[in-house]
Amino acid sequence: MPSQSSSEPWPVPDPPGERLTDPAIHHFLLARVAELCGLSRAKFPGSQPVSFNVSSIEEKLMKYDFWTCEKSDGQRLLIVIVVNSATEEQETWLLDRKEQFYKVSGLHFPYWESPDLPLRDTIIDGELVIDEDPKTKERTLRYYAFDCLVVNGMNVTGRPLLKRFGRLREWVVAPFERILKQIPEWRDELPFEVIVKKQELSYHIAQVLNVHIPSLLHGHDGIIFTNAESPYVFGTDENILKWKKPSENTIDFKLNLRFPPSPADPSEPDFYAKPVFLLSVWHGGSRGQDKYQFFDELEVDDDEWEKFKEMGQIDDTIVECFWDTERGAWRYFRHRNDKENGNHASVVQKVLASIEDGVEIETLLSKSDAIRAAWKAREQSRRGEQTPAPPQHRSSAPQQGPRGSVPPITPGPGAYPATTPGVMAGLRR
């Protein structure tokens, strides 16, 4: 976690694969993602957490069923799986928060009921991290999947996390693992491993802190609480809570450098001098017309400035910063090259509130028993209200999207529409 010490942040991996540069295909894929998710406009659909504060315990954890896990320190990416109607081959793309696509090879996701068929029209959510073996120092790229938006054309965002997580585990990752056991040579071709992220019930906070986090092979920067009963929300989700120690909360700002006048020519900046480091907050706006307002200055030591100069271009970049209570100043933690913009002004206000009115870990742990008691009471209440449901026949036919879901769109030049599944290319090679 970022702190007031000089500890180095864990490395954030770059997306593997080939970045998509064809504007026509990029437009199609982004539009296809939007249609599959039921969005009115094309954008990165990933949900974003809000900061944890004192009221989160009574208003959220005590009233609703939440799951919890550590917040991995990596790159947030969606995996988008489609079938190219021209080649009948499955294609796997990574979509980042900058709305860039990366085509990756070596991943084979079979349809869960018929392994000879490829999974199609599927979007899963997760974090790509670099795991490092503490003994050998060998590094492995792994994707920790934690949610599911669309499975085989079925939009599941309206279902509770409990159901979505089941689809992710049983319909996407489990068949993927089985096919690797059947064809072990495919494991050598993997661009990264795919793992379902382990979740705990919200009152098992100590399990996350004392068991999960110490055994991690990658960095982390807090704890995530996700409402197990709520649907998937595109953008900021009030039912996903990000907890950090109050002193370790961070904000992503835009950094701008202002150099003093040159002694030789006051009309020109002195690029050899140490500049003033300005931090600005994002107030929205369309791409290319983003609105930023000055917020504060970043305090940078001389040795930090020397490191900055080695980075090259850092003006007009996004930086993650923490508040140093001893210095009473914002300090640099790391660059966020994976982000198009800094935190929105509304998010900044919530993070500031978490810094001023945050929850220490001792307080959180002390509430575990009360959270468990409230959970059990809700469980007992639901059990008393439920009546047995009639058994439903389960069809063996491939599941289609619900009534009113988006049909495949008409392909244009260079497009990659996902239509009915074809034979997975090379499945039995």
CA atoms of 322 and 331, how far apart (whole Å): 5
CB atoms within 10 A of CB 55: 11
Phi/psi at 258 (5° precision): -125, 110
Q: Annotated catalytic residue: which of 43, 63, 71, 339?
A: 71
- Copy the structure tokens of residue 11: 């490395």
For residue 125, give the H/E element and its range. Answer: strand 122-132
Is-catalytic flag, 135?
no
Query: What are the C-alpha distances in Å from 97 to residues 46, 53, 85, 235?
Result: 8, 26, 27, 11
CA atoms of 149 and 404, how far apart (whole Å): 16
CA atoms of 375 and 379, how far apart (whole Å): 6
Q: Are 97 and 76 spatial neighbours (Cβ–Cβ below 8 Å)? A: yes
- Copy the structure tokens of residue 216: 């991690």
Q: Are 125 and 161 spatial neighbours (Cβ–Cβ below 8 Å)? A: no
Find, among 171, 128, 170, 123, the residue nearest to 148 by Cα. Answer: 123
- Copy the structure tokens of residue 135: 């003994």
Which residues carry out catalysis?
71
